[in-house]
Chain A
Amino acid sequence: AQRVTQPEKLLSVFKGAPVELKCNYSYSGSPELFWYVQYSRQRLQLLLRHISRESIKGFTADLNKGETSFHLKKPFAQEEDSAMYYCALSGNTDKLIFGTGTRLQVFP
């Protein structure tokens, strides 16, 4: 069965600390993985996708097929990074399967 697991509902760090939001997936084929972000009172938006191999707003995520993980990382968190982060998977269709999300709080 296709599934995305985000084990942490809430992650709190201080400004300047490293951040890692965990995401594990279950999929039998070759998935496409995404991270979506929702800032306060804004709509859900794409942060990054694994095929792009980009760094967006200082965030990176590497697909590890051996560990079936797609953790989101940032070396130095900023207060403006506080938001809800969703990991999502797309299989052989466009349909997205979402995790339950992790709320990141960055304290000054």
Chain B
Amino acid sequence: EADIYQTPRYLVIGTGKKITLECSQTMGHDKMYWYQQDPGMELHLIHYSYGVNSTEKGDLSSESTVSRIRTEHFPLTLESARPSHTSQYLCASVSVSYGYTFGSGTRLTVV
């Protein structure tokens, strides 16, 4: 089924660990986005990509990095997790016809 998938849904990890949040879509969309959302706050764009080998930083400064080696895959990496990275991370892909499709999100807790 054409959709966008994020794994894991929940992650609790210790300070200093390297983590990768996975995001994959099977819709063939070129444009993909990562948003960060703290509880009770708005979603902030942290990274986006308009296609393979294209990545840009969003409006909110983030210590995370992303890659886009394949159209369907847009992982986000934190080299050294800190408690300040605790948040929800939402991935989305965009089509002209249907607009944004969001994944279920990854709720990250760094202890």
A residues apposed to B, CB below 8 Å? 4, 9, 34, 36, 43-46, 49, 86, 94-101
Query: B51 contacts the other chain (Cβ, under 8 Å)?
Result: no
The answer for the CA separation of A46 and B104 in the assembled complex, in Å, is: 14
CB < 8 Å A-B pair total: 41
Choose one: A44, A94, A95, A100; the contact of B90 (CB below 8 Å). Answer: A44
Interface centre among B98, B100, B102 (most CB of A within 10 A): B100
A94-B40 contact in complex given A34-B99, A49-B99, C-beta closer than 8 Å: no
Q: Are B45 and A96 in contact (CB under 8 A)?
A: yes
Q: Are B102 and A99 in contact (CB under 8 A)?
A: no
Choose one: A45, A95, A99; the contact of B48 (CB below 8 Å). Answer: A95
Q: Are A100 and B45 in contact (CB under 8 A)?
A: no
Query: B94 contacts the other chain (Cβ, under 8 Å)?
Result: yes
Residues 9-54 of B contacting A (Cβ, < 8 Å): 31, 33, 35, 40-45, 48
